[in-house]
Structure 1
Amino acid sequence: MGKTYDLSGIISKRRNELIAGVLVACNVMEAAGTGFDKIAEEYASVDKKHQPYIYSSSDHFTLVLPDLTYEDGINDNDSAPAVTFMPVKNGTEYDEKILSFCYFKAHRVSEIAEYLGVSDSSYLRKKMLGNLEKNGYLIKDKVSRAIYYKTNQEKVILK
């Protein structure tokens, strides 16, 4: 899972006050600064499986707010979600398992190898993960010396 952050201390600043003012006047948006407070309030007493988390890469971040009506919360590694995607050019029999495993959380190559029950080999890195990355199904990120892969949720969807 990603790291969990306390959202109550985040100060929200709008990028365009004029647009925000128009949206407030049209009753399409609430008054200034109430969004993060409401989120923090909603998630204040939830268990670990329902805590918000942030995933980031070199050029963007994603704030995940789990659905509080979903009893099981965020799936653990043991229960990877069922996914659907267009067939991958030069794909392997492991593509679906990899994309499912990396759907909610970025994983190191060694974690993916262990999950698949295969060795952490150049075949895994180049032919399996490299091919999924090349075709846009996986997003590669490097933190220090470790390489992480996360499923591109624009190309892979939950069943």
Structure 2
Amino acid sequence: MNKKTKMVLIGNQLIGMVGLEEIFEKLYKSNQKPDEKIKAQLITLTGKENYIPSKQEAIYAEALLREYSLYCQKKTGGFVEETEPCCDTYQGIPRENIPWYPTVYEERCDGCKKCFEMCPQRVYLWDEKINKPKVINPFACVVGCSGCGEICILKAISFPPLSILDNLKSC
């Protein structure tokens, strides 16, 4: 059985994780709530098919818990579905191969929510615990758009240089 690969933002890196849908479905059907107690189980189950560096288990656990929470919210109807990426390709290149998405510098963010409110693609999830945005749907970001970064007066959001798009065109 071929398992799907899901791109997950872990720290500031997008990592392809195999079999998350199956793991999440199993946990959901067994009534496992997405709380701090489930982090070790998420690491154990995910680690069976994915490499998780031992020194980064805490970062992976946080990202997996976030993804499982979103999964549960979708299942219960408590979350609006993620927007599909506007395009599957850009200049003939698969969208997931284009590193165009925002990076949030939490230490600079003051929690104004301007980025979250202005993005129609639902790239962000608002983390109520820390009052900051989290990039949860990076490939929904329109290639070349940086409106959320431009609206942020504290420069808490950055994008790659536009020149990477020129380099893609020349490939």
TM-score, with length taken from structure 1: 0.29
Flag the structure with higher helix content. 2
TM-score, with length taken from structure 2: 0.28
